[in-house]
Chains A and B, each alone.
Chain A
Amino acid sequence: MIVMKDVYKRYPNGVVAANGIDVQIDQGEFVYVVGTSGAGKSTFIKMMYREEKPTKGTIVVNGIDITKIKNSKIAHFRRGIGVVFQDFKLLPKLTVYENIAYALEVIEESPKLIKKRVMAVLDLVNLKHKARMLPDELSGGEQQRISIARSIVNSPRVVIADEPTGNLDPETTWDIMKIFEEINSRGTTVIMATHNKDIVNTRKHRVIAIEEGMIVRDEQRGEYGYEI
């Protein structure tokens, strides 16, 4: 569960990117975050995994108040959250398998568990047969699937995605959506910022619309609501 109470974020340059946000997202929900460019979607999302710290207000994620958390505890907090980006953030010199295993190695999991988990998530994203390839040898959609696999290899309770389909063609986008829904169906909360009207209007889920750092609309099974 994620709870934000009266959250403000003012960047050092004076821009106010969150302007009094109150929201609750329950465990297992699927949430779209929509809004025009510069509205504050990424800021909203970044505050959830403590990449940005709010100027004011409290944010509780998985029962932890991350506005009060000590710096030394952030690493452990992050292990409960998977993050996916538009640009995949894969390491080009590591194979597909190594890229995913990397996420477990750096948190010092045992080799046995790593192998088991990596194979399981590769299976989920249907890329077991490409485990030995390098990211450059894969299509954009496949790279994003690897990136998603990495985000869930740790079995996080929440997966946060910032425009995960921003770089992908429509067909690939549907594949990615299916994977997120599959993850969601297993009880993981999925929060996705997106500009993709078709997705939001076709695969109906909760929609949170942000304008100028404020939540202007919050609907279960909502619509995208903007003309592109």
Chain B
Amino acid sequence: MFATSNEVNTDMKFRTIGRHLKESLKNIVRNGWMTFASVSAVTVTLVLVGVFFIILMNLNQVATSIEEDVEIKVLIDTTATDADQEKLTQQIKDISEVGSVTFSSKEKELDALIDSFGEDADLFKQLYEERNPLNAAFIVKTKDPLDTMKAAEKIEKLDFVYKVRYGQNDVEKLFDIIKVSRNVGIVLIIGLLFTAIFLISNTIKITIVARRKEIEIMRLVGATNSFIRWPFFLEGLWLGILGSIIPITAIIVLYKEISTFLEPKLVGNFIQILDFNPFAYQVSGILLLIGCVIGVWGSLMSVHKFLKI
């Protein structure tokens, strides 16, 4: 970034660092409204990026858990003979979307059910071991989890199928949302970032016109380009930091609220949102980083053309 002058960087004096810091802070204050405009641009961008990012990451999380968990449970009619079962297996396997089919006997189903009761399991054990009321079942996984509904519908129509169960009723809707949001979200985030950089470099450009004379004089008397750039670099950094305060606070507060609200409702559900800690802090870190990068980028971009020889 400061390749144009190597000598100065290596032995940059404390006095110089102090001067750059002072200069950059002075400019932040002196350019009041422009600073406000740039900071607002960063703020708006980061809020939107943050929200999209959180939604996207959570959708991703949901999608992954669904991809792992979603299976179709095909309950087999109790009247089915071994031969009927054999035939049914084949028919399910023949469905193009189906990936794997596993048989689960009614004893195994009972074990799983008893297990799921945890501490109270013993009570049920006795009760059920005498007469097992459950159906044997096939556990079907589709090749692509998003095809679950389609496969389930086809299986439902087959003979000796007592009942077909999969995930939640909302799974279908959720899948649609996931598919669209993933793509839209990524495009939006990238678009937002570029808009912000553009906005910042433009606002800083306006303030630079006023500082043109200063830059011109610095160059005339022999200040190195890196010396001229430093205050702008720092100014961009301040803009980024100032611009991330509101988004980070908002995201930490809101995500805390959302997770305390949602988590009890989601217990035992296969859909989970990402834990507040560390996710909210990770997002904050990322937002701060993005804020600083777009601040610095915008700032250096705007000073660039004044340094051309």
**Chain A interface residues toward B at CB < 8 A:** 49-50, 53, 71-72, 74-79, 83, 89, 91, 102-103, 105-108, 111, 150, 154
Which secondary structure dominates chain B's binding surface? helix
Chain A residues contacting B223 (CB-CB under 8 Å) are 75, 106-107
A8 to B228 CA separation, bound complex (whole angstroms): 31
Given the contacts A91-B217, A105-B19, A78 and B222 also touching, CB distance less than 8 Å: yes
Question: In the complex, which of the residues A74, A77, A89, A107 contacts B216, with contact meaning CB atoms closer than 8 Å?
Answer: A89
Question: In the complex, which of the residues A71, A79, A83 contacts B309, with contact meaning CB atoms closer than 8 Å?
Answer: A71
Nearest to A87 among chain B residues (CB) is B213
Question: In the complex, which of the residues B213, B216, B228, B309 contacts A50, with contact meaning CB atoms closer than 8 Å?
Answer: B309
B48 to chain A, nearest CB (A): 37
B227 at the interface (CB under 8 A from A): yes
A81 to B213 CA separation, bound complex (whole angstroms): 19
Chain B residues contacting A150 (CB-CB under 8 Å) are 221
Question: Is the Cβ of A91 less than 8 Å from the Cβ of B218?
Answer: no
Question: Is the Cβ of B220 less than 8 Å from the Cβ of A83?
Answer: yes
A76 to B8 CA separation, bound complex (whole angstroms): 11
Q: A72-B6, A77-B222 are in contact. List 5 more A-B contacts (CB 8 A).
A: A72-B224, A75-B223, A89-B217, A108-B8, A111-B15
Question: Is the Cβ of A53 less than 8 Å from the Cβ of B6?
Answer: no
Question: In the complex, which of the residues B3, B15, B221, B309 contacts A107, with contact meaning CB atoms closer than 8 Å?
Answer: B221
Given the contacts A89-B217, A150-B221, A72 and B227 also touching, CB distance less than 8 Å: no
CB neighbors of A among B24-61 (8 A): none
Chain A residues contacting B106 (CB-CB under 8 Å) are none
Chain B residues contacting A91 (CB-CB under 8 Å) are 213-214, 217
A89 to B221 CA separation, bound complex (whole angstroms): 12
A7 to chain B, nearest CB (A): 17
Nearest to B6 among chain A residues (CB) is A72
Nearest to A106 among chain B residues (CB) is B223
Nearest to A92 among chain B residues (CB) is B213
Chain A residues contacting B282 (CB-CB under 8 Å) are none
Question: Is the Cβ of A79 less than 8 Å from the Cβ of B221?
Answer: yes
A24 to B187 CA separation, bound complex (whole angstroms): 62
Chain B residues contacting A108 (CB-CB under 8 Å) are 8, 13, 15-16, 227
Chain A residues contacting B309 (CB-CB under 8 Å) are 50, 53, 71, 74
B56 to chain A, nearest CB (A): 43
Q: List 30 A-B contacts (CB under 8 A).
A: A49-B220, A50-B309, A53-B309, A71-B4, A72-B5, A72-B225, A75-B5, A75-B219, A75-B222, A75-B225, A75-B227, A76-B222, A76-B224, A78-B219, A78-B220, A78-B221, A78-B222, A79-B221, A83-B220, A89-B213, A89-B216, A89-B217, A91-B214, A102-B217, A106-B218, A106-B227, A107-B221, A107-B222, A111-B15, A154-B221
